[in-house]
Chains A and B, each alone.
Chain A
Amino acid sequence: MRKRRLLLLFSFFLLFMLVLGGCAEPKTTAPGPAEGSSGDDTRGERVLRLDEQNLGFPSVYTVSSRGRGYLLTSFLFDTLTWKDEKGLVPLLAERWELADDAKTWTFYLVKDAFFSDGIPVTAEDVKFSFEYMQEHPHPWVSLNMVKNVEVVDDHTVKVELLDTYAPFLSEIAGNVPVMPRHIWQDVADPSQFNTPESVIGSGPFTLEHFDPTAGTYIFAANANYFLGAPVIDKLIFSEVNDPAQALADGDLDAAQHLGYGEAMRLKSEGRFNVMEGPGFWVYRMYFNFDLPEFKEESVRKAFYYAINRDEIVEKAVGSGADPGNAGHIHPDSEWYYPQVKEYDFDPDLAGTLLDEAGIVDKNGDGIREFNGKAMQYELLVVSDRVNEAEMVKSYLGDLGVALEIKALDQKSVDSLIKEGKFTLALNGHGSFGGDPVLLARFVSDERSLGSTPSVTAQGGGQWVNEEFNDLFARQMKEMDYEKRYKQVARLQEIIAEELPTLTLYYRKITFAYNPEALNGWFFTKDGVARAVPTVQNKLVYIRGTWGR
C-alpha cells in the first residue's frame, strides 16, 4: 500500500517534470531534404535552410502585412526597381526617365523576363498591376498619387502622377509587384486568392510547397530568371524555436531571428559568420490622443525625461539596440538631423514639468492627478517585451504615474493600436529607414500623398500639427536633396519639440550564417523594399556564392 503511494507520488512528479520539460523542448529540427541530398555528383542539390515565422500564404494579398511577409512575395514577384547594398538598382525596368514636369516617369522594361508559366512580362502587366492595386488597396503600397498608367509599347510604360512625388522610384516603383494580367484580371477578391496560380510571378523563385499549419515554405529556384538562375536550388523557411541551437546542430544554414547576446556568442565562437547591422526597426511608446492628459505636451515631455533610454537598451535589450532620439529618425540615416531638442534622462526635471503644469499628487497616495483623475493607465505591450514595460512602469512610477502592464501577442497589440483601443502602448515595427516618407505616420490630414504601411498605423485621436502637415506635403514634392533635407530636418525638430511618440530605441539586427553554405550576404541600403531590416534581399541568392 505504502509503496504504491510512493510510486504514485513519484510518477506525479515525473509527469510534472515531463510537462515542464516538454514545453521547454526546443523544436530545432527543420523539415526538408536536409541530409542525404548532398550527393557527390558535380554540384549536388544546394538547399538553403533559414528560420522564419509563419507569415501566411505568400501571394500578394494573402501574406502577412508585416515587412517580412512582403519579402516572401518578393521572391515570387518582381518590381520595376529594387535596392542593393549601395542603393537603387534596376530590376524589371532596365532604365527609366523623368519628364520635365517632374510628374511623368517612363520605364523601359527588360525584354527577357518571363512569368513562371512561360508568358513574357510586358508593359500591359505593369499597367494592370498598378491599376489592380489602386482598385484593391494593399496594406504595403498605397498608390493614391498615381494618376494614370499608359502602355507605350510592349516594353515601355509611362506612369503619370498627380503631383511630384520624391520617393517614387524606391517607395512605389520598388514595391508594386508586377502580377501577370492573364491570371489576376479575373480575381475579384484577392484576399482569398491562394491557388497555385496566385503565386505565378517573374521572380527568382517559385513556390514549391507551403504548409499553412507548420509555417514551412519551400521555394524552388527559377532557372529561367532573367538576371540568371539563383545559386541555390531550394530555399526553405521554417519556424524554429531556437535558431542558434539549430544552426549549431546543422539543422539551419543561416539564422535570422537571433537575440543579440546569442549572436555575439556565436561570433566569439567563430564557427559561423555573424553580421551586425542597423535594424530599421523602432521601439516606441504610443499615446492615445483621445485622453486629454496625453494632449498635454508637458505630460509627454515629462514621460520622456523620466525614461532612461540608455538603461533600457542595456538591460532590456542586452545592448542590442541604439537609444532612441527625440527626432525619431535613425541616427544612421542620411536624413538624420542631429540638432533637435534632446531629452536626456532627468527624473527631477520630469517631476518639475508636471508640477509646473499643475499635475500634482493632491491626495498623497503617490499618484498624480490630472483634472482630479488619478494618472493610472494600462500599458499595452507584446508579451515578449515585458522587460521594457516593467522598466517603463518603474520609471513612470517614480514620476507618480501608475501603470498596469497588459501583455498580449503581436497581432492583438498591432490591431488594438490600429483601432485606438489602448491608452498607452509600447510597440515596435520595421519600415523605419530610407525615405522620410516614413514620417507620414504623424501626418493628421488626408491631403498627404505619402503613406506608411498600415501595420504602423495608430487609431483614435490624432496628434495634430498644421505646420508639420504642410511641410510634409511640401517635402514630398521636393526633388532636390539639399532643399529636401532642410525641410525634413524641420520636421524632426517639430517631432522632438512636441513628441507625438516617444522613440525608445532602434534595434540592431544580427544574422549568422554557415560559410559552407551561401556566402555574399549584405545589408540593403535603407532596408529591403520599404526599409525591412533584414538580409533577405533576393539579389543575395543571385549574386552570392556557394561555399561547399
Chain B
Amino acid sequence: MKNATVKKAALLILLIMMVMGIAYPTLAPFQPDDFSSPALLPPGGKHLLGTNKMGQDIFSALLAGFRVTISIALIVSFCSTLIGTVLAISCAFYRRWMDRFIMSVTEIFIIVPEIIVIMLFAAFAGPRVADVVMVMIFFSWSRITRILRGKAMVIINQDTLQYTLLLKGNLFDVGRKMWPYLYPAVATLFIQQCGRAAVYEATLSFLGIGDPALKSWGRTIKAALDYEGIFWGHTYLWWLLPPILCLILFVLALALLTFDFDESGERSD
C-alpha cells in the first residue's frame, strides 16, 4: 500500500516534469537565450526566478532544462538499454564463442569507469549534443548486458523458449518469447539508466564538455557557479539551487520508481 503511494507520487512527479518539458515553449515567458532584460534582477513579477549575469530569464532556462535534460536522459537510456538487451539475448541464443566474445567485450567496458571514459571521449568529440549523446550511449550499455545475460541464460531454459529453439526460431523469435520474463528487469535498468544519464549529462556540462550553448540543468549550474558573485547576496537561492533541486528531484523520482519495480519483480520470481 505504502509502496504504491510512493510509486504513484514518483510517477506523478515524472509526469509533471515531462509535461513541463513538452510544454515549455508555451510556459516559458522568455526565450532562454534572450539577453535583452537587465542583468541580475532578483525574483519578481516578470522574472519568476530573476535573471542571470547576462540578463537571461532563469525560470525559462530552468524550463528549457526539463526538455533538454529529460530528453537526453530518455534517448541515452533507451538506446543503451536496447543495445544491452539485444546483446544479452544474443549471448543466451548463440552461446559458445559468441557468448564468450560479447562477454569479454562487456568485461572490458565494465572494467573502465564509465564517467571517466565518457568525459575523455566527449572532450575529444565535437561540441554538439548529438556527439555527447552518442558517447554516453556507447559507454553505458555494458552493465545492462552483464545483468540481463544472467537472466536470459536462466530464462532460455524455460519450456516455451526451448520449444522455440526446437522449431529453429531465430534471434528475434527468441527475443519475443523472452520478453515477458525479461521485461521487469529491462524496465528497472531502463529507469536506472535514465537517472545515470541525467547525472552524466550534468557532470559533463558542469565540466564544460559538450555544447556550451545547451540549456540543460548542468549548464545552468555551471553558469551560476562561474558567476563570481554567486554566494555574495542571495543570488544562489534563485540561480544555483533550482536547477540542482530539479536534477535531484528527477533522479530521486526515477530511483523511487525502480525500487518499487524491483520489489514486484522479486515477488513474481
A binds B: yes
| Residues of A near any B CB (own CB < 8 A) | 5, 9, 12-13, 16, 19-20, 23-24, 244, 259, 261-262, 265, 311, 314-316, 318, 381, 383-384, 386-387, 389-391, 393-394, 404-408
| Residues of B near any A CB (own CB < 8 A) | 33, 35, 39, 53-55, 126-128, 199, 203, 206-208, 211-213, 221, 225-226, 228-229, 232, 244, 248, 251-252, 255-256, 259
Among A12, A265, A311, A315, point to the contact of B53 (Cβ < 8 A): A315
Pairs A-B, 5 closest by C-beta atoms: A386-B212, A407-B212, A259-B228, A262-B228, A315-B54
Known: A315-B39, A407-B212. A391 touches B251 (CB 8 A): no
A383 touches B208 (CB 8 A): yes
User: Whole-angstrom distance between the alpha carbons of A358 and B198 in the complex?
Assistant: 46
B228 touches A405 (CB 8 A): no
Q: Could you tell me the distance in whole angstroms from the C-beta of A272 to the nearest C-beta in chain B? A: 15
Known: A20-B206, A261-B228, A406-B127. A394 touches B35 (CB 8 A): yes
Determine the residue in chain B with the shortest Cβ distance to A407. B212
Known: A13-B248, A16-B199, A244-B228. A405 touches B211 (CB 8 A): yes
Among B54, B206, B252, point to the contact of A387 (Cβ < 8 A): B54
B35 touches A315 (CB 8 A): yes
Q: Could you tell me the distance in whole angstroms from the C-beta of A396 to the nearest C-beta in chain B? A: 13
B229 touches A265 (CB 8 A): yes
B251 touches A16 (CB 8 A): yes
Contacts of B35 in A (CB 8 A): 311, 315, 390-391, 394
10 residue pairs A–B, Cβ–Cβ below 8 Å: A20-B221, A20-B244, A244-B228, A315-B53, A315-B54, A381-B212, A383-B208, A390-B33, A390-B35, A394-B35
Among B54, B207, B229, B232, point to the contact of A23 (Cβ < 8 A): B207
Q: Could you tell me the distance in whole angstroms from the C-beta of A147 to the nearest C-beta in chain B? A: 48
User: Whole-angstrom distance between the alpha carbons of A107 and B54 in the complex?
Assistant: 53
Contacts of B127 in A (CB 8 A): 404-408
Contacts of A5 in B (CB 8 A): 259
Contacts of A16 in B (CB 8 A): 199, 248, 251
B213 touches A405 (CB 8 A): yes
User: Whole-angstrom distance between the alpha carbons of A390 and B214 in the complex?
Assistant: 10
User: Whole-angstrom distance between the alpha carbons of A407 and B222 in the complex?
Assistant: 14
Contacts of A23 in B (CB 8 A): 206-207
Contacts of B203 in A (CB 8 A): 19
Contacts of B126 in A (CB 8 A): 406
A318 touches B255 (CB 8 A): no
User: Whole-angstrom distance between the alpha carbons of A468 and B128 in the complex?
Assistant: 40
B39 touches A407 (CB 8 A): no
A24 touches B225 (CB 8 A): yes
User: Whole-angstrom distance between the alpha carbons of A486 and B221 in the complex?
Assistant: 51
Determine the residue in chain A with the shortest Cβ distance to B126. A406
Known: A394-B33, A407-B212. A261 touches B229 (CB 8 A): yes
Q: Could you tell me the distance in whole angstroms from the C-beta of B243 to the nearest C-beta in chain A? A: 11
Known: A244-B228, A383-B212. A315 touches B55 (CB 8 A): yes
Count of A-B contacts judged by CB separation below 8 Å = 69
A391 touches B259 (CB 8 A): no
User: Whole-angstrom distance between the alpha carbons of A408 and B248 in the complex?
Assistant: 29
Main secondary structure of the interface of B (DSSP, over half): loop
Contacts of A13 in B (CB 8 A): 248, 251-252
Q: Could you tell me the distance in whole angstroms from the C-beta of B212 to the nearest C-beta in chain A? A: 4
User: Whole-angstrom distance between the alpha carbons of A316 and B232 in the complex?
Assistant: 19
Known: A394-B33, A407-B212. A318 touches B259 (CB 8 A): no
Determine the residue in chain B with the shortest Cβ distance to A24. B225
Contacts of A259 in B (CB 8 A): 228
Q: Could you tell me the distance in whole angstroms from the C-beta of A407 to the nearest C-beta in chain B? A: 4
Among B206, B212, B232, B251, point to the contact of A265 (Cβ < 8 A): B232
Contacts of B207 in A (CB 8 A): 23
Determine the residue in chain A with the shortest Cβ distance to B208. A383
Contacts of A20 in B (CB 8 A): 206, 221, 244
A389 touches B53 (CB 8 A): no
Q: Could you tell me the distance in whole angstroms from the C-beta of A106 to the nearest C-beta in chain B? A: 51
A389 touches B206 (CB 8 A): no
B255 touches A12 (CB 8 A): yes
**Listed residue (A12, A315, A390) with the most chain B CB atoms within 10 angstroms of its CB:** A315
Known: A5-B259, A13-B252. A389 touches B228 (CB 8 A): no
A391 touches B54 (CB 8 A): yes
Contacts of B208 in A (CB 8 A): 383, 407
User: Whole-angstrom distance between the alpha carbons of A477 and B252 in the complex?
Assistant: 71
Q: Could you tell me the distance in whole angstroms from the C-beta of A527 to the nearest C-beta in chain B? A: 25
Contacts of B39 in A (CB 8 A): 314-315, 318
User: Whole-angstrom distance between the alpha carbons of A171 and B213 in the complex?
Assistant: 41
Contacts of B228 in A (CB 8 A): 244, 259, 261-262
Contacts of A12 in B (CB 8 A): 255
Contacts of B252 in A (CB 8 A): 9, 13
User: Whole-angstrom distance between the alpha carbons of A133 and B127 in the complex?
Assistant: 40
Q: Could you tell me the distance in whole angstroms from the C-beta of A124 to the nearest C-beta in chain B? A: 50
Contacts of B211 in A (CB 8 A): 405
B199 touches A262 (CB 8 A): no
Determine the residue in chain A with the shortest Cβ distance to B229. A261
User: Whole-angstrom distance between the alpha carbons of A387 and B33 in the complex?
Assistant: 10
**Listed residue (B211, B212, B232) with the most chain A CB atoms within 10 angstroms of its CB:** B212
Contacts of B199 in A (CB 8 A): 16
User: Whole-angstrom distance between the alpha carbons of A386 and B35 in the complex?
Assistant: 13
User: Whole-angstrom distance between the alpha carbons of A404 and B135 in the complex?
Assistant: 20
Q: Could you tell me the distance in whole angstroms from the C-beta of B257 to the nearest C-beta in chain A? A: 12
User: Whole-angstrom distance between the alpha carbons of A316 and B227 in the complex?
Assistant: 11
User: Whole-angstrom distance between the alpha carbons of A405 and B208 in the complex?
Assistant: 13
User: Whole-angstrom distance between the alpha carbons of A386 and B208 in the complex?
Assistant: 10
Q: Could you tell me the distance in whole angstroms from the C-beta of B261 to the nearest C-beta in chain A? A: 12
User: Whole-angstrom distance between the alpha carbons of A113 and B102 in the complex?
Assistant: 72
User: Whole-angstrom distance between the alpha carbons of A497 and B252 in the complex?
Assistant: 59
9 further A-B pairs in the complex, CB-CB below 8 A; given A389-B212, A389-B213: A13-B251, A16-B199, A24-B225, A265-B232, A315-B55, A383-B212, A386-B213, A390-B33, A391-B35
Q: Could you tell me the distance in whole angstroms from the C-beta of B112 to the nearest C-beta in chain A? A: 18
Q: Could you tell me the distance in whole angstroms from the C-beta of B173 to the nearest C-beta in chain A? A: 37
Among A9, A19, A244, A390, point to the contact of B213 (Cβ < 8 A): A390
User: Whole-angstrom distance between the alpha carbons of A244 and B230 in the complex?
Assistant: 13
Contacts of A244 in B (CB 8 A): 228
Determine the residue in chain A with the shortest Cβ distance to B259. A5
B53 touches A405 (CB 8 A): no
Q: Could you tell me the distance in whole angstroms from the C-beta of B214 to the nearest C-beta in chain A? A: 10
Q: Could you tell me the distance in whole angstroms from the C-beta of A265 to the nearest C-beta in chain B? A: 7
Q: Could you tell me the distance in whole angstroms from the C-beta of B223 to the nearest C-beta in chain A? A: 8
Contacts of A384 in B (CB 8 A): 226
User: Whole-angstrom distance between the alpha carbons of A406 and B53 in the complex?
Assistant: 21
Determine the residue in chain B with the shortest Cβ distance to A387. B54
B212 touches A316 (CB 8 A): no
User: Whole-angstrom distance between the alpha carbons of A20 and B251 in the complex?
Assistant: 15
User: Whole-angstrom distance between the alpha carbons of A13 and B251 in the complex?
Assistant: 9
Determine the residue in chain B with the shortest Cβ distance to A316. B54
**Listed residue (B207, B228, B256) with the most chain A CB atoms within 10 angstroms of its CB:** B228
Q: Could you tell me the distance in whole angstroms from the C-beta of B236 to the nearest C-beta in chain A? A: 11
Contacts of A408 in B (CB 8 A): 127
Contacts of A19 in B (CB 8 A): 203
Determine the residue in chain A with the shortest Cβ distance to B203. A19
User: Whole-angstrom distance between the alpha carbons of A522 and B262 in the complex?
Assistant: 68
User: Whole-angstrom distance between the alpha carbons of A3 and B225 in the complex?
Assistant: 35
Contacts of B221 in A (CB 8 A): 20
